[in-house]
C-alpha cells in the first residue's frame, strides 16, 4: 500500500473574497521508502500539496490518506504530523531555542516523548545528520547547510516515516546544498525514510526515484528522472528549463550531431562525449 494516497485533492485559499484553486484535482500515490521529487514553477501548488500531507491544511475536497490515516478526519491531525516531518526553506526561522539540544528536545516534548528518552533521541538524530558535538551550541552560529541539518535532526528525532523538504536547499550556497542533499540521501538509503522533496531546481530531481511535475495546481506528468527531465515538452509546459546536459543533447541534435543517449548530469555528459575515459 502507498504510504501517501492523494485522490482528486483540491484546495482553494480564500483571498480578498475570491477563491482560486491552488491545487486542482491532484491524484498521486507515493510508496513507502520512495524518494519523490515534486517539480514546478512558482505558484504551481507544490507547498499547498505538501501542507496537506503534513495536515497543516484541512482537506477541502478529494481524499488523502497518510500512513494509513484519513486526513479528512480532524482526530488524525496530530498522528499524521508525527508520521510526517517537514523541513522548510529558510534555515533561519525554524528554531525555537538558542541551544541546539533544547531546540530538538522541544519538538520531542510537544509529542509527549517520555523525558528519559529525550537525550538519547537528540543524540541519535544529531549523529545521523553528522552534527554530533553541537548539542550545546547555538543554531544561529552555524552555516546555512549546518542549520538545515539541525532542522532535519529536529524532525528526525520524532522518528517520522515521511520527511517533506520544501525548497530546503534553495537559500543555501553550493556547499550547503550538497551537505543537505547528502543528508537526504542518507535518510533515504540508510534510514528507510519516505522522502518528498519539493524543488524548482531540475538538477536536484536527478537524485530521486520518481519525479512529479506540477503546473497550475495540476499533476501534468510523472516518471523516472530520466523520463521527466529529458521530456522537453513536459518541462516547457510546466515553465521549467531542462538540465544543461539535456539542453546540450537536443541543441547538438539540431546541428546534426546525435549522441548515443541523452545525459542528465554533467558527469554523464562527459561520459557520453568521451566514452573512452
Interacting residue ranges for Mg ion, rule: CB under 5 A: 46-47
In the bound complex, what is the minimum distance in angstroms from residue 174's beta carbon to Mg ion? 21
Specify the stretch interacting with ligand ATP by CB under 6 A; choose among 25-33, 41-49, 58-66, 223-231.
Answer: 41-49
Our measurement of the distance from residue 275's CA atom to the centroid of its chain's CA atoms, rounded to an integer in Å, reads: 34
CB of 218 to ligand ATP, least distance (A): 11
Does position 45 interact with ligand ATP (CB under 6 A)? The reply is: yes
Burial of residue 274, with CB atoms counted within 10 A of its CB: 0-12 exposed, 13-18 middle, 19 or more buried: exposed
Q: Is 242 in the site for ligand ATP (CB under 6 A)?
A: no
Instruction: Yes or no: say if 188 and 175 are a contact pair by the CB < 8 Å rule.
Output: no
Applying CB under 6 A, does 82 fall inside the site for ligand ATP? no
Q: Which is nearer to ligand ATP, 167 or 179 (CB)?
A: 167
Q: Which of 164, 234, 163, 233 is nearest to 193 (CA)?
A: 163
| From 83, 149, 177, 200, residue interacting with ligand ATP (rule: CB under 6 A) | 200
Binds ligand ATP (CB under 6 A): choice among 7, 13, 138, 251: 13
Q: Which of 28, 39, 48, 163 binds ligand ATP (CB under 6 A)?
A: 48
Residue in 43, 61, 223, 239 binding ligand ATP, rule: CB under 6 A: 43
Nearer to ligand ATP, 45 or 62 (CB): 45
Minimal distance in Å, beta carbon 238 to Mg ion? 14
- Min separation Cβ 184 and Mg ion, Å: 17
CB of 47 to ligand ATP, least distance (A): 3
From 29-37, 39-47, 59-67, 171-179, give the range in contact with ligand ATP by CB under 6 A.
39-47
- Considering only residues 1, 15, 254, 275, which one is a binding residue for ligand ATP as defined by CB under 6 A? 15
Closer by beta carbon to ligand ATP, 13 or else 250: 13
Separation CA 70–CA 241 (nearest Å): 36
Cβ proximity of 78 and 69 under 8 Å: no
Q: How far is residue 7's CA from residue 18's CA, in Å, rounded to a whole number? A: 25
Of 41 and 137, the one with the shorter C-beta distance to ligand ATP is 41
Binding stretches for ligand ATP (CB under 6 A): 13, 15, 22, 40, 42-48, 200
Amino acid at each position: 500500500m502507498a504510504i501517501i494516497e492523494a485522490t482528486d485533492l483540491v484546495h482553494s485559499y480564500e483571498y480578498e473574497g475570491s477563491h482560486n484553486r491552488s491545487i486542482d484535482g491532484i491524484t498521486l500515490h507515493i510508496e513507502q521508502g520512495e524518494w519523490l521529487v515534486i517539480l514546478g514553477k512558482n505558484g504551481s501548488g507544490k507547498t499547498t500539496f505538501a501542507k496537506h500531507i503534513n495536515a497543516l491544511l484541512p482537506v477541502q475536497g478529494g481524499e488523502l490518506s497518510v500512513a494509513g490515516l484519513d486526513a479528512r478526519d480532524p482526530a488524525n491531525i496530530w498522528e499524521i504530523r508525527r508520521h510526517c516531518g517537514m523541513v522548510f526553506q529558510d534555515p533561519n526561522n525554524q528554531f525555537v531555542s538558542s541551544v541546539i539540544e533544547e531546540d530538538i528536545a522541544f519538538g520531542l516534548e510537544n509529542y509527549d516523548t517520555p523525558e528519559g528518552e529525550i537525550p538519547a533521541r537528540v543524540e541519535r538524530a544529531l549523529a545521523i545528520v553528522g552534527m554530533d558535538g553541537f548539542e550545546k551550541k547555538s543554531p544561529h552560529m552555524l552555516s546555512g547547510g549546518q542549520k538545515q541539518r539541525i532542522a532535519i535532526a529536529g524532525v528526525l528525532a520524532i522518528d517520522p516515516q515521511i520527511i517533506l523538504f520544501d525548497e530546503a536547499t534553495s537559500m543555501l550556497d553550493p556547499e550547503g546544498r550538497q551537505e543537505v542533499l547528502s543528508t537526504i540521501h542518507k535518510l533515504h538509503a540508510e534510514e528507510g525514510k519516505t522522502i518528498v522533496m519539493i524543488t524548482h531546481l531540475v538538477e536536484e530531481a536527478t537524485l530521486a526515484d520518481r519525479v512529479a511535475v506540477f503546473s497550475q495546481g495540476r499533476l501534468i506528468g510523472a516518471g523516472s528522472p530520466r523520463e521527466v527531465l529529458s521530456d522537453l515538452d513536459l518541462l516547457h509546459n510546466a515553465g521549467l528549463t531542462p538540465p544543461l546536459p539535456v539542453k546540450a543533447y537536443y541543441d547538438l541534435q539540431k546541428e546534426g550531431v546525435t549522441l548515443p543517449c541523452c545525459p542528465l548530469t554533467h558527469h554523464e555528459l562527459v561520459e557520453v562525449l568521451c566514452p573512452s575515459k
